[in-house]
């Protein structure tokens, strides 16, 4: 199986390339340093591959897609460019009972954004099970490592650590203050919400890992469910999933103030969902690695499904 990572030196591309380089079932196609600027060589490799990962900015991903003429070349894109496009399949296998089949047969798969992944995993089951009204005024916040900001933000933080270039980078920083984060369209579409949530992300001074939190007022939910009923709905929805774990209520009863450390899923393709609070006010939290289940891990999980392989191959230790 021939695979090409277009943009292999970016944050996501490098992670995908490194993971796949350890696999014997994959032939990684590469372009040498001296040939990187030769468009004909790039076009040749794009069309020679069975699977192409596009790990590029939105505009570059759209351009790269026009260069692929081979009808047998399947594409997995990590940008925002195609996530809500009707001709692309959303690369979140746990979205519904049908989503794996959609991914398996797809020629074009778009990897979800990291914030969107956490949000959809936490909220979608409650909408589908008739607990959360589609018109509920959802708000959410996330804490994320600076690697989610790409090369420029990584360089700023790394420079700041050694040269104190910008002292503000040492503290958490809210962003998207105009409430227009680029993940919002997919957060709405793939939860069947009537309106986009109010979303405030926060970038922190650590490399990777994230936690998304969503508060819910149960008196505004359908049939005013208890905390236990909300937990049971999420647990049932993800029964048997390898990469989504709903933390048992017994494990969260005496939760410490540090239990939601955003980095505890780092290095994995796993996501963990917590149901906290009480019967009046519930806090749902979803923790994952923004470079794992939030990008490169999810991309490889989709590739495995598309190729009819065990989706944990290269993602679970020992596989």
**Distance, CA of 243 to CA of 241 (rounded, Å):** 6
The candidate with the shortest Cα–Cα distance to 122, out of 40, 214, 27, is 214
Using DSSP's 3-state secondary structure scheme, residue 268 falls into coil
Tokens of 230: 């909300």
Contact 74, 306 (CB under 8 A): yes
* Phi, psi values for residue 137, rounded to 5°: -80, 80
Is residue 204 annotated as part of the catalytic site, yes or no?
Answer: no
Cα–Cα separations (whole angstroms), residue 74 to 59, 110, 215, 275, 307: 19, 11, 39, 38, 10
Packing angle between helix 11-20 and helix 150-163, nearest 10 degrees? 100
Closest C-alpha among 240, 241, 236, 292 to residue 262: 292
- Name the catalytic one among 114, 140, 270, 302: 114
Catalytically annotated residues: 114
């Amino acid at each position: 199986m021939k695979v090409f990572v277009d943009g292999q030196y970016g944050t996501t591309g490098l992670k995908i390339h490194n993971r796949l380089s350890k696999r014997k079932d994959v032939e990684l196609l590469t372009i040498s340093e001296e040939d990187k600027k030769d468009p004909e060589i790039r076009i040749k490799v794009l069309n020679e591959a069975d699977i192409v990962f596009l790990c590029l900015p939105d505009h570059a991903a759209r351009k790269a897609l026009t260069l692929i003429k081979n009808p047998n070349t399947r594409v997995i894109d990590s940008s925002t460019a195609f996530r809500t496009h009707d001709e692309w399949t959303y690369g979140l296998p746990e979205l519904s009972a049908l989503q794996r089949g959609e991914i398996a047969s797809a020629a074009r798969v778009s990897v979800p954004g990291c914030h969107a992944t956490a949000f959809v995993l936490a909220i979608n089951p409650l909408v589908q099970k008739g607990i959360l009204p589609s018109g509920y005024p959802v708000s959410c916040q996330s804490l994320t490592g600076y690697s989610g900001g790409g090369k420029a933000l990584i360089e700023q933080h790394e420079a700041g650590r050694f040269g104190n270039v910008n002292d503000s980078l040492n503290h958490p920083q809210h962003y998207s203050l105009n409430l227009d984060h680029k993940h919002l369209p997919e957060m709405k579409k793939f939860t069947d919400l009537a309106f986009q949530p109010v979303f405030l992300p926060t970038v922190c001074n650590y490399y990777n890992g994230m936690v998304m939190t969503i508060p819910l007022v149960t008196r505004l939910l359908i049939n005013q469910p208890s905390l236990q009923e909300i937990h049971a709905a999420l647990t049932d929805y993800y029964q048997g999933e390898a990469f989504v774990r709903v933390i048992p209520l017994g494990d969260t009863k005496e939760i410490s103030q540090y239990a939601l450390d955003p980095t505890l899923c780092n290095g994995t393709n796993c996501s963990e969902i917590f149901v906290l609070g009480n019967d009046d006010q519930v806090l749902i939290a979803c923790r994952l690695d923004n470079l794992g289940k939030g990008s490169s891990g999810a991309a490889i999980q989709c590739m495995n499904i598309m190729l009819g392989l065990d989706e944990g191959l290269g993602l679970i230790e020992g596989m």
